[in-house]
Structure 1
Amino acid sequence: PRRGRSGGGGVAEPGVGSEQDPFGGSPRRGRSGGGGVAEPGDGSEQDPFGGSPRRGRRRRRNEDGGADERGLDPDADPESVARTVALNRLSVAPQTRAQLDAAMARKGVPEEVRDGVLDRFTDVGLVDDAAYARAWVESRHAGRGLARRALGYELRKRGVEPAVADDAVETLDPEQEEATARALVAARLPSTRRLDPVARTRRLTGLLARKGYPPGLAFRVVREALEADGVDGMDLPDDYFAD
Protein backbone atom coordinates (compact mmCIF):
# COMPACT_ATOMS: atom_id res chain seq x y z
CA PRO A 1 0.00 0.00 0.00
CA ARG A 2 1.03 3.62 -0.53
CA ARG A 3 1.37 5.17 2.91
CA GLY A 4 0.55 8.66 3.99
CA ARG A 5 -2.79 9.07 2.20
CA SER A 6 -5.69 9.94 4.43
CA GLY A 7 -9.06 8.47 3.58
CA GLY A 8 -11.50 10.75 5.34
CA GLY A 9 -13.41 13.85 4.48
CA GLY A 10 -14.60 13.00 0.97
CA VAL A 11 -12.85 13.63 -2.31
CA ALA A 12 -10.47 16.56 -2.56
CA GLU A 13 -11.09 18.95 -5.43
CA PRO A 14 -8.26 20.24 -7.62
CA GLY A 15 -6.81 23.60 -6.68
CA VAL A 16 -5.19 26.31 -8.68
CA GLY A 17 -1.69 25.22 -7.71
CA SER A 18 0.35 23.34 -5.19
CA GLU A 19 1.04 26.46 -3.15
CA GLN A 20 -1.42 27.75 -0.60
CA ASP A 21 -3.44 30.44 -2.33
CA PRO A 22 -6.83 32.19 -2.08
CA PHE A 23 -8.47 29.62 -4.34
CA GLY A 24 -7.83 26.38 -2.44
CA GLY A 25 -5.22 24.00 -1.11
CA SER A 26 -2.93 21.48 -2.74
CA PRO A 27 -4.35 19.68 -5.79
CA ARG A 28 -4.54 15.98 -6.49
CA ARG A 29 -2.01 15.74 -9.26
CA GLY A 30 -2.35 13.67 -12.35
CA ARG A 31 -6.17 13.65 -12.57
CA SER A 32 -7.93 14.74 -15.68
CA GLY A 33 -11.45 16.07 -15.76
CA GLY A 34 -12.70 13.52 -18.26
CA GLY A 35 -13.70 15.72 -21.16
CA GLY A 36 -14.00 19.43 -21.50
CA VAL A 37 -11.40 21.55 -19.79
CA ALA A 38 -8.37 19.79 -18.33
CA GLU A 39 -8.03 19.79 -14.55
CA PRO A 40 -5.00 21.37 -12.84
CA GLY A 41 -1.86 19.29 -12.61
CA ASP A 42 -2.60 16.92 -15.45
CA GLY A 43 0.15 18.37 -17.64
CA SER A 44 -1.91 17.52 -20.72
CA GLU A 45 -1.97 20.91 -22.37
CA GLN A 46 0.93 21.96 -24.52
CA ASP A 47 1.60 25.59 -23.71
CA PRO A 48 4.54 27.98 -23.88
CA PHE A 49 5.18 27.82 -20.16
CA GLY A 50 6.64 24.30 -19.84
CA GLY A 51 5.60 20.91 -18.53
CA SER A 52 4.97 19.48 -15.11
CA PRO A 53 6.02 21.45 -11.99
CA ARG A 54 8.21 18.60 -10.75
CA ARG A 55 10.23 18.36 -13.95
CA GLY A 56 10.49 22.15 -14.07
CA ARG A 57 11.96 22.33 -10.58
CA ARG A 58 14.71 19.86 -11.44
CA ARG A 59 15.46 21.72 -14.65
CA ARG A 60 15.74 25.08 -12.91
CA ARG A 61 18.49 23.76 -10.67
CA ASN A 62 20.76 23.34 -13.69
CA GLU A 63 19.56 25.76 -16.35
CA ASP A 64 21.65 28.64 -14.97
CA GLY A 65 24.86 26.64 -15.20
CA GLY A 66 24.74 25.14 -11.71
CA ALA A 67 22.84 25.31 -8.45
CA ASP A 68 21.51 28.78 -7.69
CA GLU A 69 23.09 28.81 -4.24
CA ARG A 70 26.64 28.78 -5.64
CA GLY A 71 26.65 32.51 -6.27
CA LEU A 72 28.93 34.47 -8.58
CA ASP A 73 32.41 33.15 -9.33
CA PRO A 74 34.90 35.85 -8.25
CA ASP A 75 36.66 35.58 -11.62
CA ALA A 76 33.47 35.71 -13.68
CA ASP A 77 32.24 38.74 -15.58
CA PRO A 78 28.91 39.70 -13.93
CA GLU A 79 27.37 40.89 -17.20
CA SER A 80 28.30 37.68 -18.97
CA VAL A 81 26.84 35.64 -16.12
CA ALA A 82 23.63 37.68 -16.21
CA ARG A 83 23.23 37.17 -19.95
CA THR A 84 23.88 33.43 -19.64
CA VAL A 85 21.35 33.06 -16.84
CA ALA A 86 18.69 34.93 -18.81
CA LEU A 87 19.30 33.13 -22.10
CA ASN A 88 19.36 29.70 -20.46
CA ARG A 89 16.07 30.32 -18.69
CA LEU A 90 14.41 31.82 -21.74
CA SER A 91 15.45 28.81 -23.81
CA VAL A 92 13.37 26.62 -21.49
CA ALA A 93 10.20 28.75 -21.16
CA PRO A 94 9.07 32.38 -21.26
CA GLN A 95 10.00 34.35 -18.15
CA THR A 96 8.92 37.59 -16.56
CA ARG A 97 11.43 40.31 -15.85
CA ALA A 98 11.03 39.64 -12.13
CA GLN A 99 11.75 35.93 -12.56
CA LEU A 100 14.93 36.61 -14.53
CA ASP A 101 16.02 39.26 -12.05
CA ALA A 102 15.57 36.82 -9.17
CA ALA A 103 17.58 34.14 -10.99
CA MET A 104 20.43 36.59 -11.62
CA ALA A 105 20.34 37.73 -8.00
CA ARG A 106 20.70 34.14 -6.80
CA LYS A 107 23.87 33.97 -8.90
CA GLY A 108 25.22 37.01 -7.10
CA VAL A 109 24.92 39.42 -10.04
CA PRO A 110 24.86 43.04 -8.75
CA GLU A 111 21.59 44.94 -9.12
CA GLU A 112 22.92 47.56 -11.52
CA VAL A 113 24.24 44.86 -13.85
CA ARG A 114 20.95 42.97 -13.69
CA ASP A 115 19.00 46.11 -14.54
CA GLY A 116 21.23 46.89 -17.51
CA VAL A 117 21.01 43.42 -18.99
CA LEU A 118 17.26 43.23 -18.46
CA ASP A 119 16.78 46.65 -20.06
CA ARG A 120 18.64 45.49 -23.15
CA PHE A 121 16.69 42.24 -23.30
CA THR A 122 13.48 44.26 -23.02
CA ASP A 123 14.55 46.62 -25.81
CA VAL A 124 15.09 43.73 -28.23
CA GLY A 125 11.86 41.98 -27.23
CA LEU A 126 13.33 39.00 -25.39
CA VAL A 127 11.63 40.14 -22.19
CA ASP A 128 8.05 41.39 -22.56
CA ASP A 129 5.85 41.09 -19.48
CA ALA A 130 2.75 42.27 -21.33
CA ALA A 131 3.11 39.59 -24.01
CA TYR A 132 3.93 37.01 -21.33
CA ALA A 133 0.79 37.94 -19.40
CA ARG A 134 -1.48 37.70 -22.44
CA ALA A 135 -0.07 34.30 -23.39
CA TRP A 136 -0.38 33.14 -19.78
CA VAL A 137 -4.07 34.10 -19.64
CA GLU A 138 -4.84 32.30 -22.89
CA SER A 139 -2.88 29.19 -21.95
CA ARG A 140 -4.08 28.78 -18.38
CA HIS A 141 -7.69 29.53 -19.16
CA ALA A 142 -7.83 27.13 -22.10
CA GLY A 143 -5.77 24.39 -20.45
CA ARG A 144 -6.84 24.61 -16.81
CA GLY A 145 -10.08 26.53 -16.84
CA LEU A 146 -8.86 29.29 -14.54
CA ALA A 147 -11.03 32.40 -14.20
CA ARG A 148 -9.92 36.01 -14.24
CA ARG A 149 -9.34 36.32 -10.51
CA ALA A 150 -7.11 33.25 -10.38
CA LEU A 151 -5.22 34.30 -13.50
CA GLY A 152 -4.52 37.77 -12.10
CA TYR A 153 -3.31 36.24 -8.84
CA GLU A 154 -0.90 33.91 -10.66
CA LEU A 155 0.51 36.71 -12.82
CA ARG A 156 1.15 39.00 -9.86
CA LYS A 157 2.81 36.12 -8.02
CA ARG A 158 5.23 35.81 -10.94
CA GLY A 159 6.21 39.43 -10.66
CA VAL A 160 4.00 40.95 -13.35
CA GLU A 161 2.99 44.50 -12.48
CA PRO A 162 -0.64 44.68 -11.30
CA ALA A 163 -1.66 47.07 -14.10
CA VAL A 164 -0.09 44.80 -16.73
CA ALA A 165 -1.75 41.73 -15.18
CA ASP A 166 -5.13 43.48 -15.12
CA ASP A 167 -4.83 44.43 -18.79
CA ALA A 168 -4.05 40.84 -19.73
CA VAL A 169 -6.92 39.45 -17.68
CA GLU A 170 -9.32 41.87 -19.36
CA THR A 171 -8.59 40.17 -22.69
CA LEU A 172 -10.58 37.17 -21.44
CA ASP A 173 -14.13 37.48 -22.78
CA PRO A 174 -16.73 37.18 -19.96
CA GLU A 175 -18.83 34.95 -22.22
CA GLN A 176 -15.85 32.63 -22.70
CA GLU A 177 -15.24 32.60 -18.96
CA GLU A 178 -18.85 31.53 -18.35
CA ALA A 179 -18.68 28.91 -21.10
CA THR A 180 -15.57 27.42 -19.47
CA ALA A 181 -17.31 27.35 -16.09
CA ARG A 182 -20.19 25.42 -17.66
CA ALA A 183 -17.77 22.96 -19.26
CA LEU A 184 -16.06 22.34 -15.93
CA VAL A 185 -19.38 21.70 -14.20
CA ALA A 186 -20.62 19.45 -17.00
CA ALA A 187 -17.44 17.35 -16.79
CA ARG A 188 -17.77 16.87 -13.04
CA LEU A 189 -21.57 16.60 -12.83
CA PRO A 190 -21.91 12.81 -13.45
CA SER A 191 -19.57 11.93 -10.58
CA THR A 192 -21.77 13.85 -8.10
CA ARG A 193 -25.03 12.02 -8.80
CA ARG A 194 -24.64 9.77 -5.77
CA LEU A 195 -24.79 12.85 -3.51
CA ASP A 196 -27.79 14.77 -2.24
CA PRO A 197 -28.59 18.12 -3.94
CA VAL A 198 -26.95 20.29 -1.30
CA ALA A 199 -23.76 18.22 -1.29
CA ARG A 200 -23.68 18.26 -5.10
CA THR A 201 -24.03 22.02 -5.09
CA ARG A 202 -21.23 22.46 -2.59
CA ARG A 203 -18.95 20.12 -4.52
CA LEU A 204 -19.50 21.87 -7.85
CA THR A 205 -19.41 25.44 -6.58
CA GLY A 206 -16.26 24.58 -4.62
CA LEU A 207 -14.62 23.42 -7.85
CA LEU A 208 -15.40 26.73 -9.53
CA ALA A 209 -14.40 28.79 -6.48
CA ARG A 210 -10.96 27.21 -6.41
CA LYS A 211 -10.49 28.21 -10.04
CA GLY A 212 -11.31 31.82 -9.24
CA TYR A 213 -14.90 32.09 -10.45
CA PRO A 214 -17.03 34.63 -8.55
CA PRO A 215 -19.77 33.21 -6.29
CA GLY A 216 -22.68 34.67 -8.27
CA LEU A 217 -21.54 33.10 -11.53
CA ALA A 218 -20.62 29.80 -9.87
CA PHE A 219 -23.99 29.40 -8.14
CA ARG A 220 -25.94 30.32 -11.27
CA VAL A 221 -24.03 27.90 -13.49
CA VAL A 222 -24.32 25.08 -10.95
CA ARG A 223 -28.02 25.69 -10.33
CA GLU A 224 -28.80 25.58 -14.04
CA ALA A 225 -26.70 22.44 -14.52
CA LEU A 226 -28.44 20.67 -11.63
CA GLU A 227 -31.89 21.67 -12.85
CA ALA A 228 -31.04 20.33 -16.30
CA ASP A 229 -29.93 17.12 -14.58
CA GLY A 230 -33.34 16.72 -12.95
CA VAL A 231 -32.69 18.31 -9.55
CA ASP A 232 -35.69 20.34 -8.37
CA GLY A 233 -34.63 23.75 -7.12
CA MET A 234 -37.08 23.30 -4.25
CA ASP A 235 -34.72 20.67 -2.85
CA LEU A 236 -32.30 23.47 -1.91
CA PRO A 237 -32.60 26.29 0.66
CA ASP A 238 -34.39 29.37 -0.66
CA ASP A 239 -31.32 31.59 -0.34
CA TYR A 240 -28.73 29.00 -1.33
CA PHE A 241 -28.01 30.57 -4.68
CA ALA A 242 -27.96 34.18 -3.50
CA ASP A 243 -24.95 36.12 -4.80
Structure 2
Amino acid sequence: MRLLTDAPRSRAQLRDAMARKDVPEDVAEAVLDRFVEVGLIDDAEFAGMLVRTRHQERHQSRRAIAVELRRKGVDDETAQVALEQVGSDDEESAARVLVRRKLAQTASLDAQVRARRTYAALGRRGYPPAMVGRILREELAALDGADEVVPFDD
Protein backbone atom coordinates (compact mmCIF):
# COMPACT_ATOMS: atom_id res chain seq x y z
CA MET A 1 0.00 0.00 0.00
CA ARG A 2 2.85 2.39 0.84
CA LEU A 3 4.31 2.03 -2.66
CA LEU A 4 0.97 2.93 -4.21
CA THR A 5 0.77 6.17 -2.24
CA ASP A 6 4.00 7.42 -3.84
CA ALA A 7 3.11 6.74 -7.47
CA PRO A 8 1.09 4.32 -9.61
CA ARG A 9 2.75 0.93 -10.01
CA SER A 10 2.27 -2.08 -12.24
CA ARG A 11 1.24 -5.43 -10.83
CA ALA A 12 4.71 -6.80 -11.62
CA GLN A 13 6.42 -3.98 -9.72
CA LEU A 14 4.30 -4.67 -6.64
CA ARG A 15 4.88 -8.42 -6.95
CA ASP A 16 8.65 -7.80 -7.08
CA ALA A 17 8.49 -5.49 -4.06
CA MET A 18 6.62 -8.12 -2.05
CA ALA A 19 9.10 -10.79 -3.12
CA ARG A 20 11.96 -8.62 -1.82
CA LYS A 21 10.14 -8.49 1.54
CA ASP A 22 9.85 -12.31 1.52
CA VAL A 23 6.06 -12.28 1.26
CA PRO A 24 4.95 -15.81 0.29
CA GLU A 25 3.98 -15.98 -3.38
CA ASP A 26 0.43 -17.22 -2.74
CA VAL A 27 -0.21 -14.39 -0.26
CA ALA A 28 1.23 -11.83 -2.65
CA GLU A 29 -0.98 -13.04 -5.51
CA ALA A 30 -4.08 -12.92 -3.26
CA VAL A 31 -3.26 -9.35 -2.21
CA LEU A 32 -2.58 -8.30 -5.81
CA ASP A 33 -5.83 -9.89 -6.99
CA ARG A 34 -7.69 -7.92 -4.32
CA PHE A 35 -5.92 -4.70 -5.35
CA VAL A 36 -7.08 -5.30 -8.93
CA GLU A 37 -10.67 -5.96 -7.74
CA VAL A 38 -10.89 -2.69 -5.83
CA GLY A 39 -9.12 -0.72 -8.57
CA LEU A 40 -5.86 0.05 -6.81
CA ILE A 41 -3.88 -1.48 -9.65
CA ASP A 42 -4.75 -1.36 -13.32
CA ASP A 43 -1.87 -2.14 -15.69
CA ALA A 44 -3.75 -0.71 -18.68
CA GLU A 45 -4.35 2.61 -16.92
CA PHE A 46 -0.78 2.61 -15.60
CA ALA A 47 0.60 2.04 -19.11
CA GLY A 48 -1.61 4.74 -20.61
CA MET A 49 -0.53 7.25 -17.98
CA LEU A 50 3.14 6.40 -18.44
CA VAL A 51 2.89 6.77 -22.23
CA ARG A 52 1.19 10.17 -21.93
CA THR A 53 3.65 11.59 -19.42
CA ARG A 54 6.80 10.22 -21.02
CA HIS A 55 5.81 11.45 -24.46
CA GLN A 56 4.34 14.84 -23.54
CA GLU A 57 6.75 15.84 -20.79
CA ARG A 58 9.98 14.08 -21.70
CA HIS A 59 9.41 13.83 -25.47
CA GLN A 60 10.45 10.17 -25.51
CA SER A 61 9.86 8.04 -28.58
CA ARG A 62 7.45 5.11 -28.68
CA ARG A 63 10.40 2.74 -28.74
CA ALA A 64 11.91 4.18 -25.55
CA ILE A 65 8.54 4.14 -23.81
CA ALA A 66 7.95 0.52 -24.85
CA VAL A 67 11.28 -0.46 -23.31
CA GLU A 68 10.35 1.28 -20.06
CA LEU A 69 6.93 -0.39 -19.97
CA ARG A 70 8.56 -3.79 -20.47
CA ARG A 71 11.05 -3.03 -17.71
CA LYS A 72 8.17 -2.14 -15.38
CA GLY A 73 6.49 -5.47 -16.08
CA VAL A 74 3.66 -4.39 -18.38
CA ASP A 75 2.83 -7.14 -20.87
CA ASP A 76 3.42 -6.47 -24.56
CA GLU A 77 -0.27 -6.47 -25.53
CA THR A 78 -1.19 -3.88 -22.89
CA ALA A 79 1.85 -1.80 -23.85
CA GLN A 80 0.89 -1.85 -27.55
CA VAL A 81 -2.63 -0.61 -26.78
CA ALA A 82 -1.22 2.21 -24.62
CA LEU A 83 1.39 3.16 -27.24
CA GLU A 84 -1.34 3.66 -29.84
CA GLN A 85 -1.99 7.04 -28.15
CA VAL A 86 1.20 8.33 -29.80
CA GLY A 87 0.93 8.55 -33.56
CA SER A 88 3.73 9.04 -36.07
CA ASP A 89 2.92 12.73 -36.38
CA ASP A 90 3.04 13.14 -32.58
CA GLU A 91 6.38 11.39 -32.44
CA GLU A 92 7.80 13.53 -35.22
CA SER A 93 6.53 16.72 -33.56
CA ALA A 94 8.21 15.74 -30.30
CA ALA A 95 11.46 14.97 -32.14
CA ARG A 96 11.28 18.36 -33.88
CA VAL A 97 10.89 20.11 -30.50
CA LEU A 98 13.97 18.30 -29.21
CA VAL A 99 16.00 19.08 -32.34
CA ARG A 100 15.13 22.77 -32.07
CA ARG A 101 16.00 22.80 -28.38
CA LYS A 102 19.35 21.09 -28.97
CA LEU A 103 20.22 23.38 -31.86
CA ALA A 104 19.47 26.41 -29.70
CA GLN A 105 21.69 25.05 -26.93
CA THR A 106 24.58 24.46 -29.32
CA ALA A 107 24.22 27.61 -31.46
CA SER A 108 27.82 28.73 -30.90
CA LEU A 109 29.34 25.39 -31.97
CA ASP A 110 30.43 24.04 -35.35
CA ALA A 111 27.66 22.48 -37.48
CA GLN A 112 29.24 19.02 -37.26
CA VAL A 113 29.37 19.18 -33.46
CA ARG A 114 25.79 20.45 -33.30
CA ALA A 115 24.61 17.60 -35.50
CA ARG A 116 26.55 14.97 -33.55
CA ARG A 117 25.16 16.17 -30.23
CA THR A 118 21.63 16.32 -31.61
CA TYR A 119 21.87 12.76 -32.95
CA ALA A 120 23.15 11.56 -29.58
CA ALA A 121 20.46 13.35 -27.56
CA LEU A 122 17.61 12.04 -29.67
CA GLY A 123 19.15 8.59 -29.94
CA ARG A 124 19.09 8.32 -26.14
CA ARG A 125 15.37 9.02 -26.29
CA GLY A 126 14.83 6.26 -28.82
CA TYR A 127 14.36 8.20 -32.04
CA PRO A 128 15.54 6.52 -35.27
CA PRO A 129 18.59 8.11 -36.93
CA ALA A 130 16.79 8.52 -40.28
CA MET A 131 14.06 10.63 -38.69
CA VAL A 132 16.58 12.68 -36.72
CA GLY A 133 18.69 13.29 -39.83
CA ARG A 134 15.74 14.48 -41.88
CA ILE A 135 14.42 16.80 -39.16
CA LEU A 136 17.93 18.06 -38.41
CA ARG A 137 18.55 18.98 -42.06
CA GLU A 138 15.18 20.75 -42.23
CA GLU A 139 15.77 22.71 -39.03
CA LEU A 140 19.34 23.68 -39.95
CA ALA A 141 18.12 24.85 -43.35
CA ALA A 142 15.36 26.90 -41.70
CA LEU A 143 17.84 28.45 -39.25
CA ASP A 144 20.66 29.15 -41.66
CA GLY A 145 18.79 29.51 -44.91
CA ALA A 146 21.01 26.87 -46.52
CA ASP A 147 21.72 23.18 -46.21
CA GLU A 148 24.68 22.40 -43.99
CA VAL A 149 26.59 19.17 -44.11
CA VAL A 150 25.17 16.81 -41.52
CA PRO A 151 27.12 13.68 -40.61
CA PHE A 152 25.60 10.20 -40.41
CA ASP A 153 23.70 9.68 -43.65
CA ASP A 154 20.22 8.23 -43.42
Same fold per superposition (TM over 0.5): yes
Q: Does 1:232 align with 2:146?
A: yes
Provide the residue aligned with 2:6 in structure 1.
92
Task: Report the CA distance shift for 1:107/1:236 in structure 2 as closer, same or farther (over 3 A).
Answer: closer
The question of whether the paired residues in 2 share the 8 Å contact of 1:95 and 1:127 is answered with yes
The residue that corresponds to 1:124 in the other structure is 38
1:225 Cα deviation (Å)? 0.6
Q: Which has the larger radius of gyration?
A: 1
SS of residue in 2 equivalent to 1:112: helix
Compare 95-104 and 184-193 and name the one that shifted more.
184-193
Corresponding pairs, count: 154
2:120 is equivalent to residue 217 of structure 1: no
Q: In structure 2, how many angstroms separate the alpha carbons of the residues matched to 1:235 and 1:113?
A: 61
Pick from 81, 93, 100: which aligns with 1:186? 100
Match of 1:177 among 80, 85, 91: 91
Residue number in structure 2 paired with 1:142: 56
Deviation at 1:161, TM superposition (A): 1.0
If each structure's helix is expressed as a fraction of its own residues, which one has the higher value? 2
Q: Deviations over 1:70-124 (max 9, x none)?
A: xxxxxxxxxxxxxxxxx21111110110111111112211101111111121122
Partner of 1:106: 20
Note if contact 1:201-1:223 (Cα within 8 Å) is conserved in structure 2.
Answer: no
Separation in 2 of the partners of 1:234 and 1:160? 43
Please list the CA deviations of residues 168-223 of structure 1 after superposition, one character each: whole Å capped at 9, or x if unmatched.
11221221111111111112212222222222211112111111111121111111
Tell me how far 1:231 sits from its aligned partner.
Answer: 6.2
- Two-structure CA RMSD over aligned residues (Å): 1.6
CA contact (8 A) 2:107 2:114 kept: yes
Tell me how far apart the structure 1 counterparts of residues 64 and 140 of structure 2 sit (CA, whole Å): 25
Q: Which runs of 5+ in 1 are unaligned?
A: 1-86
Q: Distance in 2 between matches of 1:236 and 1:117?
A: 55
Give the residue type in structure 1 aligned to 2:13: Q
CA deviation after TM superposition for structure 1 residue 232, in Å: 3.4
SS of alignment partner, residue 14 of structure 2: helix
CA distance in 2, matches of 1:235, 1:125: 54
The AA in structure 2 aligned to 1:216 is A
Measured against aligned partners, the alpha-carbon deviations of 1:49-79 in whole angstroms (never above 9, x if no partner) come to xxxxxxxxxxxxxxxxxxxxxxxxxxxxxxx
